[in-house]
């Protein structure tokens, strides 16, 4: 089987595009030199690219159906963080072998996510290489219904910090070699991004870990005065969003503080962390209920001069993220930057 037979058999589809915004009259998809499409409406576009490399972003033991779902889902999570609707994507595959049964399962997983989120495969490239590691590159396109986009750099002093879903399962599954559907088949929070776009002040998807991703938001939002700002996380609220699997797997081995500190490092979560004004709390809780998605208020954006019981930045810390017990069971704890490091 060569490249063209692979594309024809596993990735070329007949029929209408899965997204009705793609004009049928203009649409050219997989199988030509390039893709052509025209939106029926003049929406702003959002573009994101992610690469996944075997042995770095996924295990060689992952089943191809789950991998097919994951390579697209992680890109859609970026679109969710921007408050964008999925539209289409391109796919680059670097494979060490063309295995029909593997490709069939991979494409089934890929197109399941494609259909569920109305995100059309527009084209891509396939190569066979001599390395033993497979790799994938996806560029996803989304669009905005309206003029407002969620970004990392809108966080305001006094904002609440919220997180979706639960935290800690992916890092625990990797450490203890446990089976984890969340790690293998992440679910992008696209619907949540659309719901919070009109009032949230900043947003990010949790791919590197909360302790790292929060810093991205702080530094982007307060580039001129980050030494005057910190995010205070509430220990008791963090407990509420710990993964039940994490708690069960570590039962009798780690206490609650250890679990929270580990969850703060956990990458591959693909939840949304966002900031919002205090007066949006009722609206956010209603959104969570309507989506059947837990949304937890885990902290707030504070001014350093307002807190006298913190030991501020030293050679060991940047002073940006702290953990506080509302019931005073421990002194304030600095949260180190940790999680996935790209280089």
214 and 139 assigned to the same domain: no
pLDDT of residue 59: 81
59 and 183 assigned to the same domain: no
Closest CA to 221 of 238, 202, 242, 235: 202
| Residues 323-342: b if buried by 16+ CB within 10 A, e if exposed | bbeeeeeeeebbbebbbbee
In a domain, 163, yes or no: yes
| Residue that is last in its domain, among 126, 143, 160 | 143
pLDDT of residue 339: 62
CB 57 within 8 A of CB 73: no
pLDDT tens digits, 34-46: 888 888 778 889 9
pLDDT of residue 34: 82
| Distance of alpha carbon 294 from alpha carbon 335, whole angstroms | 24
pLDDT tens digits, 95-131: 887 788 889 999 999 999 999 999 999 988 888 877 7
161 and 95 assigned to the same domain: no
55 and 182 assigned to the same domain: no
183 and 216 assigned to the same domain: yes
121 and 158 assigned to the same domain: no
Higher pLDDT, residue 200 or 56: 200
110 and 193 assigned to the same domain: no
Closest CA to 95 of 58, 63, 59, 132: 132
Asked if residue 204 has pLDDT above 60, the reply is yes
156 and 288 assigned to the same domain: yes
Q: Which band of pLDDT confidence, cut at 50, 70 and 90, is reported for residue 12?
A: low
133 and 163 assigned to the same domain: no
| Distance of alpha carbon 296 from alpha carbon 233, whole angstroms | 11
| Residue that is last in its domain, among 115, 143, 171 | 143
pLDDT (mean) for 162-177: 96
Of 177-191, 272-286, 326-340, the one with minimum mean pLDDT is 326-340
In a domain, 340, yes or no: no
Enter the tokens of residue 282: 């009722």
In a domain, 36, yes or no: yes
| Distance of alpha carbon 56 from alpha carbon 183, whole angstroms | 13
pTM, full prediction: 0.90
In a domain, 278, yes or no: yes
How is 127-142 classified by DSSP, letter by letter?
EE-SSS--EEEEEEEE
| Residue that is last in its domain, among 143, 175, 210 | 143
Q: Count of H helices and E strands in the chain?
A: 11, 11
In a domain, 75, yes or no: yes
Domain count, the chain: 2
169 and 250 assigned to the same domain: yes
Asked if residue 173 has pLDDT above 90, the reply is yes
pLDDT of residue 117: 97
Percent of the chain clearing pLDDT 70 (strictly above): 89
| Distance of alpha carbon 229 from alpha carbon 340, whole angstroms | 24
In a domain, 339, yes or no: no
Closest CA to 121 of 1, 208, 37: 37
Q: Which band of pLDDT confidence, cut at 50, 70 and 90, is reported for residue 147?
A: confident
280 and 228 assigned to the same domain: yes
CATH code for position 20: 3.30.1330.10
- Vertex 300, ends 295 and 302: CA angle to 5°? 170
User: Strands (DSSP E) along 200-319, which ranges?
Assistant: 202-205, 229-234, 272-276, 295-303
| Distance of alpha carbon 226 from alpha carbon 230, whole angstroms | 8
Full residue range of the structural domain in which residue 104 is found: 3-143
* Residue 230 CB contacts under 8 Å (≥ 6 apart), including other chains: 218, 301, 302, 304, 307, 310, 319, 320, 321, 322
Q: Which band of pLDDT confidence, cut at 50, 70 and 90, is reported for residue 343?
A: very low
139 and 157 assigned to the same domain: no
In a domain, 342, yes or no: no
| Distance of alpha carbon 256 from alpha carbon 57, whole angstroms | 28
Asked if residue 236 has pLDDT above 80, the reply is yes
Enter the tokens of residue 235: 């220990």
In a domain, 194, yes or no: yes
CATH code for position 233: 3.90.650.10
């Amino acid at each position: 089987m060569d490249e063209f037979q692979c594309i024809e058999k596993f990735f070329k589809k007949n029929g209408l595009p899965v997204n009705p915004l793609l004009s049928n009259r203009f649409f050219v998809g997989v199988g030509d030199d390039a893709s052509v499409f025209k939106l029926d409406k003049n929406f702003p576009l959002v573009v994101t690219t992610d690469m996944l490399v075997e042995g770095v972003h996924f295990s060689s033991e992952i089943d191809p159906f789950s991998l097919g779902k994951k390579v697209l889902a992680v890109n859609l999570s970026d679109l969710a963080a921007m408050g964008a609707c999925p539209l289409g994507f391109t796919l680059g595959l670097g494979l060490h072998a063309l295995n029909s049964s593997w490709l069939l399962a991979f494409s089934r997983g890929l197109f399941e996510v494609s259909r569920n989120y109305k995100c059309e495969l527009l084209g891509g490239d396939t190569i066979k290489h001599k390395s033993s590691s497979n790799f994938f590159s996806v560029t996803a396109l989304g669009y905005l219904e309206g003029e407002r986009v969620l970004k990392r750099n809108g966080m305001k002093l006094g904002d609440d910090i919220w997180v979706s879903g639960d935290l800690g399962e992916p890092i625990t599954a990797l450490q203890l070699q446990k089976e984890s559907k969340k790690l293998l088949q992440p679910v992008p929070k696209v619907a949540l991004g659309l719901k919070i776009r009109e009032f949230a002040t900043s947003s990010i998807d949790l791919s590197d870990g909360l302790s790292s991703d929060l810093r991205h938001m702080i530094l982007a939002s307060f580039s001129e005065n980050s030494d005057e700002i910190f995010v205070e996380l509430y220990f008791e609220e963090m407990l509420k969003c710990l993964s039940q699997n994490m708690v069960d797997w570590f039962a009798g081995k780690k206490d609650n503080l250890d679990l929270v500190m580990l969850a703060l490092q956990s990458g591959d979560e693909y939840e949304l962390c966002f900031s919002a004004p205090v007066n949006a709390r009722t609206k956010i809780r209603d959104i969570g209920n309507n989506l059947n998605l837990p949304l937890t208020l885990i902290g707030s954006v504070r001014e350093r001069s307002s807190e006298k019981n913190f030991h501020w930045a030293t050679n060991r810390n940047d002073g940006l993220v702290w953990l506080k017990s509302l019931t005073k069971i421990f002194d304030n704890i600095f949260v180190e930057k940790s999680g996935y490091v790209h280089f």
